[in-house]
């Protein structure tokens, strides 16, 4: 039975890459790792003979273990737009931890990893470097099996508070009507200041950022799928008071206004 994760990846700004030259695969983890891992992913490209291509994403509030160029590194939540210049031929493999699920492995506030990376061996020991020992991409089956074995051997005890914060992130992602930190604090049954502290400790970034990021992901998905127009109605649908604030946030993170972005994806 296939473990492929269904649906397009959210937050990818350029959805028009040639599938003959660029591949993006996502595989679900085993049931044992499902509480900790969102999915495994692979990107590969072959642009030999073609101009370099800029790929951009709006990252999610997740920690990733990324294997690329012979290195295995852990990357914290990346607040800005992520830019990657694709040139020649290459590949990368990654483990996307569920929101708030990485902290128990590390034993430190996840905010200490925000906007930075560290060698994966610092957390998972020398076995993590074995993931990066492949000169050529060995296939998803091989790397997923290695990643499963690496994490299964080091699973931490469950952390109820971390799990609760992860569930709040999932609530934000699933409910476009959830647009304020006050709403989220009411759902959690705690004060705003405590919620902010717990998000920094377990998620690595504040709840206001998470809400704003998922609303932009929703905007991108609707615009890319032709399900909405870049107008005031979309802004209100996403919880903005007016279109000007939506356009400002969209342009700041995506690099262009919604209407201009739609034209580039036509």
The pLDDT tens digits of the residues spanning 145-204 come to: 999 999 999 999 999 999 999 999 999 999 988 989 999 999 999 999 999 999 999 999
Cα distances (angstroms) measured from residue 259 to each of 62, 214, 232, 237, 241: 29, 19, 12, 16, 19
Using CA atoms of 180, 107, 59, 143 in order, give the dihedral in degrees to the nearest 10: -140
**pLDDT tens, position by position, 37-76:** 999 999 999 999 998 988 889 999 999 999 999 999 999 9
Question: Distance between CA atoms of 95 and 222, rounded to whole angstroms?
Answer: 27
pLDDT above 60 for 2: no
Which residues of the chain does CATH 1.10.10.60 include? 160-264
Question: Distance between CA atoms of 120 and 133, rounded to whole angstroms?
Answer: 13
H or E segment and range at residue 166: helix 160-174
CATH class of the region 160-264: mainly alpha
Burial of 68 (0-12, 13-18, 19+ CB in 10 A): middle
Cα distances (angstroms) measured from residue 88 to each of 12, 49, 94, 188: 20, 8, 20, 48
**pLDDT tens, position by position, 69-110:** 999 999 999 999 999 899 999 999 999 999 999 999 999 999
Q: Which residues contact 31 (CB under 8 A, 6 or more apart)?
A: none
The structure's pTM equals 0.94
Instruction: State mean pLDDT over 236-259.
Output: 89
């Amino acid at each position: 039975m296939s473990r492929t994760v269904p649906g397009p990846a959210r937050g990818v700004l350029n959805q028009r890459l040639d599938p003959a030259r660029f591949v993006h695969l996502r595989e679900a983890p085993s049931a044992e790792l499902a509480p900790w891992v969102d999915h495994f992913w692979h990107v590969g490209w072959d642009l030999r003979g073609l101009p370099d291509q800029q790929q951009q994403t709006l990252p999610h509030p997740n920690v990733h273990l990324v294997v690329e160029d012979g290195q295995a590194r852990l990357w914290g939540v990346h607040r800005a737009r992520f830019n990657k210049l694709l040139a020649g031929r290459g590949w990368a493999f990654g483990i996307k931890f569920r929101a708030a699920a990485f902290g128990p492995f590390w034993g430190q506030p996840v905010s200490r990893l925000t906007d930075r990376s560290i060698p994966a061996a610092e957390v998972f020991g020398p076995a993590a470097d074995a993931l990066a020992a492949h000169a050529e991409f060995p296939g998803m089956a091989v790397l997923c099996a290695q990643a499963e074995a690496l994490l299964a051997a080091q699973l931490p005890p469950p952390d109820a508070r971390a799990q609760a914060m992860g569930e709040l992130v999932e609530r934000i992602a699933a409910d476009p009507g959830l647009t304020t930190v006050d709403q989220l604090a009411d759902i959690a049954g705690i004060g705003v200041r405590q919620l902010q502290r717990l998000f920094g400790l377990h998620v690595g970034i504040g709840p206001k950022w998470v809400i704003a990021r998922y609303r932009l992901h929703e905007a991108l998905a609707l615009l890319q799928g032709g399900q909405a127009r870049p107008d005031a109605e979309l802004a209100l649908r996403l919880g903005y008071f007016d279109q000007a604030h939506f356009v400002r946030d969209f342009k700041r993170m995506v690099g262009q206004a919604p209407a201009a972005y739609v034209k580039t994806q036509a």
